[in-house]
Amino acid sequence: MKAIETINLSFTYPDGTKALENVNLTIEKGEKVAILGPNGAGKSTLIYHFNGLLMPTSGKVKVLGREVSKENIDFIRQKVGLVFQNPDDQVFAPTVFQDVAFGPINLGLPEDEVKRRVKWALEVMELNEVEDKPPHRLSHGQKKRVAIAGVLAMHPEIIALDEPTANLDPKAVSKILELLLKLNKELNVTLIIATHDVDFVPLCSDKVCILNRGELILEGSPGEVFSNTEKLRRMDLRLPRIGHLFEILKVRDNLPIENPLPLTIGEARREIHRLIKHKASIK
């Protein structure tokens, strides 16, 4: 089933800035999709459409088969959770518990159900210990997890995250990654991740969409997309470091690297093992 579908989606800001142009994108349920693009490419604008925060200037956005409109906005906002780049913009309540309860309360759920959901969301995001703390006492990584817990408590089928790794230290990044993958695998949450963190993309996604100047340029698995090295570099993007290394090994050092280039440590390890065996077999 299609989680999200955009049909000829265009959006122009009131000041005349064209942010999106004819974007046709399909995201299947349960997929992990990275939307990659340089700053100002329209990534945030695009994901704001998935939740009805912005309405298309022309074209359509469909969520779980229903067109986003003013009439079904409550349904859309329950189904699509939006996690903003800066958790301070999102986490507004005086305690973590109250912030996570905000969404469920807006859904009109009874009190004990709200409590149950908050406890559950905090447990999934591994935040039980900070439940009663004020947000300004948390680390940036923890605040980010609170922001995710806040949408998770609404039981969304889709979670769209804007730059989830921005301003996080390496440990916090791997924690967020671990939790996001858990959400996708165990709860079958469709993940949409808008980012320019190229190294994060092959780890967090099984599909990559490249957005540049409001247009969808490339779409495919990370392996397919990152084999278009020239196109990416023209758009002020680059390969993941590991992919870049293997590109150099292939092009300059003429090592027999198989297509597509390995992009993660795991893929690189497998490729190196293959190369060693390959060399041994030649000898």
Q: Least separation, in Å, of the C-beta of 276 and other proteins? A: 48
**161 contacts 86 by C-beta, under 8 angstroms:** no
Q: Per CB under 8 A, does 217 bind other proteins? A: no
Q: Least separation, in Å, of the C-beta of 230 and other proteins? A: 37
Structure tokens belonging to residue 226 = 């990152």
Q: Least separation, in Å, of the C-beta of 234 and other proteins? A: 32
DSSP state of 227: T
**203 contacts 226 by C-beta, under 8 angstroms:** no
Binding mask 33-52 for other proteins (x = CB under 8 A): ---------------x--xx
Question: CA-to-CA distance for 24 and 65, rounded, in angstroms?
Answer: 15
Q: Per CB under 8 A, does 82 bind other proteins? A: yes
Q: Which is nearer to other proteins, 162 or 199 (CB)?
A: 162
Q: Per CB under 8 A, does 17 bind other proteins? A: no
Q: Per CB under 8 A, does 98 bind other proteins? A: yes
Q: Per CB under 8 A, does 11 bind other proteins? A: no
Q: Where are the beta strands (DSSP E) in 119-205?
A: 158-162, 190-195
Q: Per CB under 8 A, does 105 bind other proteins? A: yes
Q: Which of residues 133-162 bind other proteins (CB under 8 A)?
A: 134-137, 139, 150-151, 154
273 C-beta neighbours (distance < 10 Å), count: 10
Q: Per CB under 8 A, does 166 bind other proteins? A: no
Question: CA-to-CA distance for 133 and 97, rounded, in angstroms?
Answer: 8
Q: Per CB under 8 A, does 169 bind other proteins? A: no
Question: CA-to-CA distance for 203 and 235, rounded, in angstroms?
Answer: 21
Instruction: Name the segment binding other proteins (CB under 8 A); options: 19-27, 94-102, 169-177, 190-198.
Output: 94-102
Opening angle at CA 262, ends 256 and 264, nearest 5: 150
DSSP-assigned letters across all residues of 32-79: EEEEE--TTSSHHHHHHHHTTSS--SEEEEEETTEE--STTHHHHHHH
Q: Which is nearer to other proteins, 101 or 217 (CB)?
A: 101
> With contacts defined by CB under 8 A, how many residues of the chain interact with other proteins?
33
Chain positions contacting other proteins, by CB under 8 A = 48, 51-53, 74, 77-78, 81-82, 84, 86, 88-90, 92-95, 98, 101-103, 105-107, 134-137, 139, 150-151, 154
